[in-house]
Structure 1
Amino acid sequence: MALNAKCVTFPKHFLLGTATSAVQVEGAWNEDGKTPSMWDDYFHNSGGNKTYRYYLDMDTSLIEQYKCKGVQPRLVDEYKGMAVYEVPASKVIDEEYFNFNADIAADTYHKLDTDIQLLKDLGVQAYRFSISPTRVIPDLHDHLPGQKGIDYYNKLIDKLIENGITPMATLFYYDCSSDGNTFGGLLHSHIRTLFEGYARLCFENFGDRVKYWTTSADLHIVAEGYGSEHFVPGFQEHQFSGFLDYMAIHNILLSASNAYRMYNKEFKAKQQGEVSIAINGTWFYPKDPNNPEHRRIAKLARLSTFGMILHLLAKGEYPKEVVEAVEKNSKREGFKTGRLPKFTEQEKEVVVGAFDFIVFNYYSSIKVRPLTEEELINEPNHKRRDRGYFMEFDNICPAEVYDGFLNCLKYVDEVLKQPKIFIGENGFPENDDVDNSDKKVAYHTGILDKLLEALDQNINVIGYCVWSFVDTLEFTFGYKKKFGIYAVDFEDKSRPRSKKNSFSFFQRLFKTKQLN
């Protein structure tokens, strides 16, 4: 639906809402039959000596041992654009290494009625949440479902609908089970069988009311921890990056695509729902736009991150620039075998077009330049060598962040040939004990202005969710970055909520669908 560029009102059927994920807000990490996820292991064993054994499904059977190290966390590439008008994210160091976990988080598991009322007061039309796999299938395989977990999500879905809020459910949000991880998790092809059984159980139990599904969160970020110590499951990057992280992308994309095909075959006719896949995007600007090498590396940065997922969904093939970059780096480093898993013709048929709509998540944009030869030599992460760019988080202005969002939408629209798009996450991080409400409102106003421009250009965006409903555990950043519309007091075991000073802006937006 085209709008006049001056219009500040969103279309009648446009869904506005907010979002969270299970591992970041639910807490109750071992209650009612829930078994540990990789994140539980990651937080509980950080800095310890626990040894994990992984069985990797590759050309030859490999068994590798990995010891978690007590290293300081750093940003996992451009995850969630933590540097928006803030201290350069690449310089963020947590001196108290992982003195936090997801055991209680925001305690939404025990505050369902309270939170539904808060969502109603906020005036949202949609609420995006994720289902914890280890709640609904505690023992890995779908023959032993977790009834209390199923009951919890049924209650959540029912209460959302009772209050006029559209439930939007994500099946996988970074929280593979601990048991699944013992045989390699996303590295083993068996994960596709497990994911299909899990997805089917969710469709069977919730699909009569949930009409908007997302198979998996941000694919290229989901895979980061298979080549980095700084994200789950925490593999050493100098050994595994550029190998296992690519393999993880391969398997989770096939798992998600199989689930989409299965829904269409077994559930679509009766349930009439739609299934999406989520992609986290960052726009990469050349540090020096007049330098051809800077322009080239900015394009490669896009193609080797979220652009790679778009191209796989469009053609079942990696962008040629990515293939060439990986091959060039392999030759330079002396690797004799390929590192990008190839999709078979049968797999391509499964992957291409495996979505009804795209969930697109955006936080910020970044300026990049090529790595120097010295930086390439000293970079321990093989995949970052493949990508070949250096990120400068502290050299971006608000206008470039907003324009970058519109650039991303245009790019998705172009590559996937005018798909339906839902903005699943978009947020501004506030530091602990700092009120940045004015900056937060300005950020969302700037983004939403560009969203209205996208609609006016006939880019088919059907909805928008703010990250996040309440303050959350921001993974390796702990509880220091606050994205919530409602504040959570994490020092109080009862986890009380309160309205932030920006609350009225979001409430007015959701209730009127007008950007004032």
Structure 2
Amino acid sequence: MRSSSNTSRYGLRTDCWALTISAANTIIKTLPSKQFPPDFIFGAATAAYQIEGAWDADGRGPSIWDHLVHTDPEHITNKDNGDVAANSYYNYKRDIEMLKELGVSHYRFSISWTRILPFGRAHYINQRGIDHYNKFIDELLANDIVPFATIYHWDLPQILQEHGGWLNEEIVDWFADYARIVFENFGDRIKFWMTINEPWVHCYFSYGYAVYAPKIRSPGVGFYECGRNMLLANARAYHIYNDEFRSTQGGKVGIDLNSEYVYPASDSIEDIEAAKDYLAFQFGQYMHPIFSKSGNYPQRLIHRVAAASTAQGYNSSRLRSFDEDQINYIKGTADFLGLNHYFTKYVYRNSSVIGMFDVPSTDDDTFADSYMDESWPSTHAPWIREHGPGLHHLLVHIKDSYDNPEVYIAENGVSTTTGLNDPTRVSYYRSYLRAVLEALADGCNVHGYFAWSLMDNFEWNFGYSHRFGLYEVDFQDPNRTRTPRKSAFVYREIIRSRTIDYEYDPDPYAGGSSVLTSSLLVLAIVVVAGLFS
């Protein structure tokens, strides 16, 4: 239990976020062992463009990522692309075998918009795409794996981008038509839906800073327009499900939001306010309109963008407001929160921030900069350092600020290079799963955890240079052979025992996936023997 209302179990003051991180890192290793609840969900996650391949097979149309990698290959590390990727379109049965080997109960995947609607709109439905996902979903269920589907994971049909993409308000209608089709065709078997994956990341890097497809640079206007349309699109899809499908299908619809956690760099008022602004501009931009009791954007976000817009000579705020009907239409449009979390930062605001950012931009509107503690373990990904307590604090923040909604950790993981021995990933998973246990002990309403990722995949601009997989994929092999890494064995053991055993040290080279399969067979024999003893 907490030692006081303003202090977490790590001795970290949550009222003003004056934090003793070194103490947290020491204490977390000595906490008594705890178990995950019997009904806590363990899963693995992927996304369509990153693993499926078969980019032009069976009537699939081109997405914005197909367009980018084919027209500007130099933009991607090693000129990699997702044309074949892990070839999961054809290897999906092996993927499901891997899920069985791990012992997960749920699989988070995304549906490719362009497989279903090659021309983006509902006037032509590709039956071969429908057939593929029907086979895939049926195979999951036949193996007792619950499908957890994302409707949109960044693979917008290129033809819709040519009409403005997420900067065109009509996309709310386009997305609604697409969502209705997947509900109609798959909702009898899919009971967990997430509408949109990481809207902040997609808008920031795709329509703000021209890093991801479709490479639109508009960090102070397009970024906000993209987000506004995504909130309205999520709401439309939610209401469609609620009005037309919920009574017969009985599923749930959520949204998948990313968030870092942030600590103020000092106990100064400036740094504390900077940390609050940072969370409001990233997480709060989407969380507050949907999950808060009042709805709408956070007031500090509204005020800061309006003030900056006025100072820059705009006649109105670059953050277009919602009217009262829209606020109420968006509020409450998620049955649960999918949360993607990878890292934590320190945030500060002082004179050094002046002139640092583009004007106008969301970064300049926030007017804060960040850094990571170099004492936190580094990883192959320069943007990720391991700091599990940050996830715990984020979950407590969600509980305290948004009436403790139902939460699923929809993505959490770290990249390595090639090789089966991945101690960095093992340490990372243990640290963040420990944080989930602590959040559960603090009363956070966390229902599940999905490891990112089931297998190595096309990691957007980084191509295949960053490997996030529990399973290594041999991209030089036409068969795209998958082999479990050490982290796969460790994750499997956590799922089996529902505890985190820091002493468990499997050898990933002692037989590959056959070891996983053999271990599961031995466990099954023991269970069956117990039934007849």
TM-score range, shorter chain: 0.7 to 0.9
Q: Could you say which residue in structure 2 is the equivalent of 1:446?
A: 431
Shift of 1:365: 0.6
The range that moved more, 436-445 or 299-308, is 436-445
Q: Could you say which residue in structure 2 is the equivalent of 1:133?
A: 113
Shift of 1:311: 1.1
Write out aligned runs for 1:303-314 (5 A): 303-313=280-290, 314=292
Residues 415, 492 of structure 1: alpha-carbon distance in 2 compared, 3 angstrom cutoff: same
Shift of 1:378: 5.7
Instruction: Find the partner of 2:184 among 174, 180, 204.
Output: 204
Say whether 1:456 aligns with 2:441. yes
Say whether 1:480 aligns with 2:465. yes
Equivalent-residue separation in structure 2 for 1:400 and 1:121 (angstroms)? 27
Q: Could you say which residue in structure 2 is the equivalent of 1:86?
A: none
Residues 435, 500 of structure 1: alpha-carbon distance in 2 compared, 3 angstrom cutoff: closer
Say whether 1:232 aligns with 2:213. yes
Q: Could you say which residue in structure 2 is the equivalent of 1:362?
A: 341
Equivalent-residue separation in structure 2 for 1:14 and 1:316 (angstroms)? 29
Say whether 1:15 aligns with 2:1. no
If you compute each CA radius of gyration, which structure gives the higher value, 1 or 2? 2
Residues 410, 436 of structure 1: alpha-carbon distance in 2 compared, 3 angstrom cutoff: farther
SS in 2 for 1:111: helix
The range that moved more, 484-493 or 380-389, is 380-389
Shift of 1:514: 2.6
Equivalent-residue separation in structure 1 for 2:322 and 2:375 (angstroms)? 37
The range that moved more, 183-192 or 490-499, is 490-499
Say whether 1:177 aligns with 2:157. yes
Instruction: Find the partner of 1:43 among 32, 45, 69.
Output: 69
Q: Could you say which residue in structure 2 is the equivalent of 1:302?
A: 279
User: Which one-letter code corresponds to 1:102 in the other structure?
Assistant: G
Instruction: Find the partner of 1:188 among 141, 151, 168.
Output: 168
Q: Could you say which residue in structure 1 is the equivalent of 2:89?
A: 109
Runs of 5+ in structure 2 lacking a partner? 1-8, 10-30, 378-384, 502-533
Among the aligned pairs, what percent are the same residue? 34
Equivalent-residue separation in structure 2 for 1:387 and 1:275 (angstroms)? 31
- 1:127 and 1:166 in contact (8 A); partners too: yes
Instruction: Find the partner of 1:320 among 299, 309, 313.
Output: 299
Write out aligned runs for 1:382-401 (5 A): 382-393=361-372, 395=374, 397=376, 401=387
Instruction: Find the partner of 1:469 among 429, 439, 454.
Output: 454
Write out aligned runs for 1:214-363 (5 A): 214-224=194-204, 225-236=206-217, 240-287=218-265, 289-313=266-290, 314=292, 315-363=294-342
Residues 377, 393 of structure 1: alpha-carbon distance in 2 compared, 3 angstrom cutoff: closer
Equivalent-residue separation in structure 2 for 1:196 and 1:336 (angstroms)? 32
Shift of 1:425: 0.5
Say whether 1:27 aligns with 2:27. no
SS in 1 for 2:212: coil
Residues 392-426 of structure 1 deviation map (CA, whole Å, 9 limit, x = unaligned): 24636259821210111112222321111111111
Write out aligned runs for 1:52-201 (5 A): 97=77, 99-201=79-181
CA RMSD for the aligned pairs?
Answer: 2.1
Equivalent-residue separation in structure 2 for 1:159 and 1:359 (angstroms)? 24
Equivalent-residue separation in structure 2 for 1:409 and 1:387 (angstroms)? 23
Residues 405-449 of structure 1 deviation map (CA, whole Å, 9 limit, x = unaligned): 01111122223211111111110211x236662221121111111
Instruction: Find the partner of 1:513 among 495, 498, 506.
Output: 498
Equivalent-residue separation in structure 2 for 1:375 and 1:109 (angstroms)? 49
Shift of 1:282: 0.2
User: Which one-letter code corresponds to 1:309 in the other structure?
Assistant: Y
Equivalent-residue separation in structure 1 for 2:50 and 2:401 (angstroms)? 32
Say whether 1:420 aligns with 2:397. no
Residues 381, 480 of structure 1: alpha-carbon distance in 2 compared, 3 angstrom cutoff: farther
Residues 181, 503 of structure 1: alpha-carbon distance in 2 compared, 3 angstrom cutoff: same
Shift of 1:515: 2.1
User: Which one-letter code corresponds to 2:410 in the other structure?
Assistant: G
SS in 1 for 2:90: coil
User: Which one-letter code corresponds to 2:300 in the other structure?
Assistant: E
Shift of 1:26: 0.6
Equivalent-residue separation in structure 1 for 2:353 and 2:392 (angstroms)? 35
* TM-score scaled by length of structure 1: 0.85
SS in 2 for 1:128: strand
Residues 471, 199 of structure 1: alpha-carbon distance in 2 compared, 3 angstrom cutoff: same
SS in 2 for 1:109: helix
- 2:421 and 2:485 in contact (8 A); partners too: no
Equivalent-residue separation in structure 2 for 1:446 and 1:97 (angstroms)? 30
Residues 92-127 of structure 1 deviation map (CA, whole Å, 9 limit, x = unaligned): xxxx75611111111111101111111111111110
User: Which one-letter code corresponds to 2:233 in the other structure?
Assistant: S
Equivalent-residue separation in structure 1 for 2:354 and 2:478 (angstroms)? 45
Residues 292-320 of structure 1 deviation map (CA, whole Å, 9 limit, x = unaligned): 22222111111100122111112332212
User: Which one-letter code corresponds to 1:323 in the other structure?
Assistant: I
Residues 352, 507 of structure 1: alpha-carbon distance in 2 compared, 3 angstrom cutoff: same
Residues 319-349 of structure 1 deviation map (CA, whole Å, 9 limit, x = unaligned): 1211222123223433333200111212112
User: Which one-letter code corresponds to 2:338 in the other structure?
Assistant: V
Shift of 1:251: 0.5
- 1:311 and 1:415 in contact (8 A); partners too: no
- 1:40 and 1:102 in contact (8 A); partners too: yes
Q: Which has the higher contact order (CA 8 A, sep 6+)?
A: 1
* TM-score scaled by length of structure 2: 0.83
Equivalent-residue separation in structure 1 for 2:386 and 2:475 (angstroms)? 34
Q: Could you say which residue in structure 2 is the equivalent of 1:411?
A: 397
Shift of 1:164: 0.9
Residues 54-90 of structure 1 deviation map (CA, whole Å, 9 limit, x = unaligned): xxxxxxxxxxxxxxxx7x6xxxxxxxxxxxxxxxxxx
Equivalent-residue separation in structure 1 for 2:322 and 2:252 (angstroms)? 25
SS in 1 for 2:35: coil
Equivalent-residue separation in structure 2 for 1:421 and 1:188 (angstroms)? 31
Runs of 5+ in structure 1 lacking a partner? 48-69, 73-95
Which structure shows the bigger proportion of residues in strand conformation?
Answer: 1
Residues 487, 377 of structure 1: alpha-carbon distance in 2 compared, 3 angstrom cutoff: closer
